[in-house]
Amino acid sequence: MKKKFIISKLLIFSLMICFVLGSLRFNVNAAKKKFAYDYGVFLSVNSGKSAFKKFKDYKTIVIDVQNGFLSKDIKKLKKQGHKVYSYINVGAIENYRDYYKSYEDITLGVYENWPDEKWVNVHDEKWQRFILDDLSSKIISTGVDGFFVDNIDVYYQYHNDDIYSGVETILKGLKKKGKVIINGGDTFVTEYYDKNRSLNDILDGVNQETVFSRIIDYDKDKFGKNSSLDAKYFKKYMKLVKKCRKKCYLLEYTKDKNLSNKIQKYCKKKGYKYYISDKLDLS
């Protein structure tokens, strides 16, 4: 009996070693996987086999988990070596979200060029509880690495102490749950840095849209080149983010190959990640 028991223990131990080594091999392979691109933003892509085909060449991907992505999907993506961030809209609310009616009473006004969206009062405790206790918890429970936080620019639109305080509370709350990439947000982020001399408590990186490109027609995917003045402003903003040792991402919209090449060369020189799309809906 004792001999059999020892053999059984050895067998179990051997199986455990094989399992651990297999897992390590799998993780190493995932880590070593070469991706064609560093960064991709796919906010309009719904879950499904076609989605995984679109993601396969991109190391870091941004999706909206509310488009039907489940924990098993995120687990699969991470096993394939991807870093996954989920979109979360904290400064505005879209009328197609199933929670829209619950917060319509605290909206502030229609979002220009986006008729299905309204700015929201981020200082309202009801909204803060929803974002920090409900929505972000559901998102992070899927296993994503962090949040792609949109519409911090509510502070640019409604420039007052209450909105500033609301944005700060939400960002600090999200930062405690996972990594945070802010989309835009230059007015708030710059002012926060001036007050605190650090961005550590609110973000891990910034994604800036249209540094080099500009949107001419939102409905027809018509794009052009940004003005040199605006480009200079956003470059300065990215320089601040980099100075704080945070990651910089550019999201550009263009069908112009020459402009695309210019963006790529600039980002390579600066050490920034970038994604260039020929469609505004990021599908």
User: What is the average per-residue pLDDT within 11-17?
Assistant: 51
Structure tokens given for 258:
């020459």
Closest CA to 259 of 226, 215, 282: 226
Domain count, the chain: 2
pLDDT of residue 272 exceeding 80? yes
Q: Which range is least confidently modeled, 5-14, 169-178, 229-238, 248-257?
A: 5-14
In a domain? residue 283: no
125 CB-side CA count, 13 A: 0
Q: Are residues 9 and 44 both part of a single domain?
A: no
Share of the chain above pLDDT 70, in %: 89
In a domain? residue 282: no
pLDDT of residue 16 exceeding 70? no
pLDDT of residue 4 exceeding 50? no
Helix (H) or strand (E) holding 211: none
Sheet holding 107-111, edge to edge: 92-94, 114-120, 107-111
**pLDDT recorded at residue 75:** 97
**pLDDT recorded at residue 33:** 74
In a domain? residue 50: yes
40 CB-side CA count, 13 A: 22
Q: Are residues 9 and 49 both part of a single domain?
A: no
pLDDT of residue 13 exceeding 80? no
| Separation CA 71–CA 143 (nearest Å) | 6
**pLDDT recorded at residue 283:** 86
User: What is the average per-residue pLDDT within 55-72?
Assistant: 97
**pLDDT recorded at residue 49:** 84
Q: What residues contact residue 88 under an 8 Å CB cut-off, 6+ apart?
A: 131, 135, 136, 139, 147, 148, 149, 150, 174
In a domain? residue 240: yes
Q: Are residues 1 and 77 both part of a single domain?
A: no
Q: Are residues 210 and 88 both part of a single domain?
A: yes
Share of the chain above pLDDT 90, in %: 86
Average pLDDT, the chain: 91
pLDDT of residue 10 exceeding 90? no
* 3-state secondary structure at position 144: coil
User: What is the average per-residue pLDDT within 92-115?
Assistant: 95
Q: Which range is least confidently modeled, 6-10, 30-34, 58-62, 225-229?
A: 6-10
Q: Are residues 19 and 156 both part of a single domain?
A: no
Q: Are residues 7 and 72 both part of a single domain?
A: no
At 17-38, the pLDDT tens digits run: 545 445 545 454 555 678 999 9
Do 216 and 223 meet the contact criterion of CB atoms below 8 Å apart? Answer: yes
Q: What does DSSP say about strands 273-277 and 92-94: parallel, antiparallel, or unpaired?
A: unpaired
Q: Are residues 102 and 241 both part of a single domain?
A: yes
At 131-144, the pLDDT tens digits run: 999 999 999 999 99
| Separation CA 233–CA 186 (nearest Å) | 10
Do 136 and 177 meet the contact criterion of CB atoms below 8 Å apart? Answer: yes
pTM equals 0.88
At 154-198, the pLDDT tens digits run: 999 999 999 999 999 999 999 999 999 999 999 999 999 999 999
| Confidence class for position 276, pLDDT limits 50, 70, 90 | very high
Sheet holding 146-150, edge to edge: 37-41, 58-63, 83-89, 146-150, 179-183, 205-209, 247-253, 273-277
Do 248 and 208 meet the contact criterion of CB atoms below 8 Å apart? Answer: yes
pLDDT of residue 213 exceeding 50? yes
Q: Are residues 1 and 137 both part of a single domain?
A: no
Q: Which residues of 157-171 are buried (b: 16+ CB within 10 A; e: fewer)?
A: bbeeeebbebbbbbb
CATH number for the domain including 205? 3.20.20.70
**pLDDT recorded at residue 3:** 45
Q: Are residues 190 and 245 both part of a single domain?
A: yes
* 3-state secondary structure at position 275: strand
225 burial level (CB within 10 Å; 0-12, 13-18, 19+): middle
| Separation CA 79–CA 82 (nearest Å) | 7
Q: Are residues 264 and 131 both part of a single domain?
A: yes
Closest CA to 185 of 130, 217, 148: 148
- Domain holding 172, by residue range, is 35-277
CA torsion angle for 54, 48, 145, 42 (degrees, to 10)?
Answer: 40
**pLDDT recorded at residue 9:** 52
Q: Are residues 96 and 208 both part of a single domain?
A: yes
